[in-house]
Structure 1
């Protein structure tokens, strides 16, 4: 693992911070605090003994409870590094738990999922829909639901596991996916398309054909660019199980292997997806995108993801 990938792995950084602050908190509770208490008790005992001796010798001593309290408070005070660690530990632990097992925020960096998701959308990803996974290593320990066709899913990019990608599930294990003339066929059944008004893509300032696609009951919008070919064969890379796919100039047909998923962006002619770099193994799954919770450019974007 390179330094760049480590710095880019926020979960790992959060885990390290949680462990470090947790160790300091435990060390303070069970050891350092007791040392400070013992030092304070000794100092107070010495103070009382010295005061008593001076008084016995006839020397007037200005002694009061406030002075004793000041001595005790000074000796019991936590060093700054311990105080901050103890304050941050529960916060860091809570954030780590929430984003590891419940919901994790992501920011959409590209236009591959337009018009469903726009650049700058801040989304929430449900981490437990598809099963409980150990943080950092992403190892599934409890199986819950399987991804379904039409789900918008976040996953580790198979070509670079340090990157998170988001696409739509088009094929599940065993499916035969055909994409020809920019239309999908799943297991021999053509997918339904209903034409919509042309869509002005803000990034390119070009109008694109817009359709409502019905993928196994999940209706969502997709974009097609009439100027782009169905498939750029020169961009197709070598990938595991590539022999399960047949490519032509008009499109391709792939049979999804067991334990894998076929992903495509809704902006069909502006998306690097399974057409070009292959299938997504189950071990790469991060979670299901469920909502847009913020977009600083458009508050109307807030809501569920279809």
Structure 2
């Protein structure tokens, strides 16, 4: 029979294991809340940059430290810049996360004429932008191809999807407040092609631009 003297060591080992697990959980929650978080791409609004089934990592620290749940910025480091791919709380439903590219920042004047984007009266063209519909839809019907001019308010961003003809973005529902921004997407760490039931090996490790 085991001696009673062995029991304290067993209890000590169990306690150490529990403490290690708790520390790991707390550390993981800290990293997810303040440093890096994983997201999955559910739609094609950012094609061809991001495909449905891509899994990405988002740098949450780059824009500052935010209060959990309220998303109020505690420490500001820098603001998103034009061209950044950001994840944010959807203004019309904060329970949903959206991912888009920043087109305009506070003070910018955004206008779209026949699919061409202008920022402060200068044409802006991103090589990632994709147009799959050759038709030009008049601005008085809906703002997909003709929009503005609109001046971006303070502490706000104007965002668009790279799949310009198939993206529900700031052209339709307005600007994104800086407090709603969760972070900047920077790498694809996994990609699953559901239709072909296969891994897109060539996309793994790709940095986002």
* TM-score range for the pair, normalised by the shorter chain length: 0.7 to 0.9
The alignment's C-alpha RMSD in Å is 2.6
Verify the 8 A CA contact 2:115 2:144 in the aligned structure 1: no
Once the two structures are superposed, residues 203-258 of structure 1 have per-residue CA deviations (whole angstroms, 9 ceiling, x without a partner) of xxxxxxxxxx2xxxxxx311112255547867x7xxxxxxxxxx698433211000
2 CA distance for matches of 1:257 and 1:73?
68
Counterpart position of 1:301: 203
Show CA shifts across 1:45-81 (max 9, x none).
Answer: xxxxxxxxxxxxxxxxxxxxxx6x62233466549x9
Q: Does 1:119 find its partner at 2:52?
A: yes
Which secondary structure state, in structure 2, belongs to the residue aligned with residue 109 of structure 1?
coil
1:221 matches 2:119: no
Offset of residue 86 of structure 1: 3.1
Alignment: residue pair count: 201
Aligned to 2:153: 257
> Partner of 1:71: helix, strand, or coil?
coil
- Structure number having the greater strand percentage: 2
Structure-2 change in CA distance of 1:170 and 1:304 (3 Å): same
Higher helix share: 1
Contact 2:113 2:145 in 1 (8 A): no
Cα deviation code 1:80-113 (max 9, x no counterpart) = x978743421111111121222211111111000
Please give the per-residue CA displacement for 1:251-275, whole angstroms capped at 9, x wherever unaligned: 3321100011001000011111111
How far did 1:184 drift?
Answer: 0.2
Contiguous gaps of at least 5 residues in structure 2: 193-198
CA distance in 2 between counterparts of 1:232 and 1:105 reads 37
TM-score by length of structure 1 reads 0.60
Q: Which residue of 2 aligns with 1:131?
A: 64
How many angstroms apart in 2 are the aligned matches of 1:74 and 1:108? 51
Cα distance in 2, alignment partners of residues 227 and 155 from structure 1: 30
SS in 1 for 2:129: strand
Aligned match of 1:285 in 181, 185, 189?
Answer: 181
Aligned 1:82-101 pairs, distance under 5 A: 85-101=18-34
Question: How many angstroms apart in 2 are the aligned matches of 1:232 and 1:87?
Answer: 59
Normalised by the length of structure 2, the TM-score is 0.85
Distance 1:150 1:230 in 2: 25
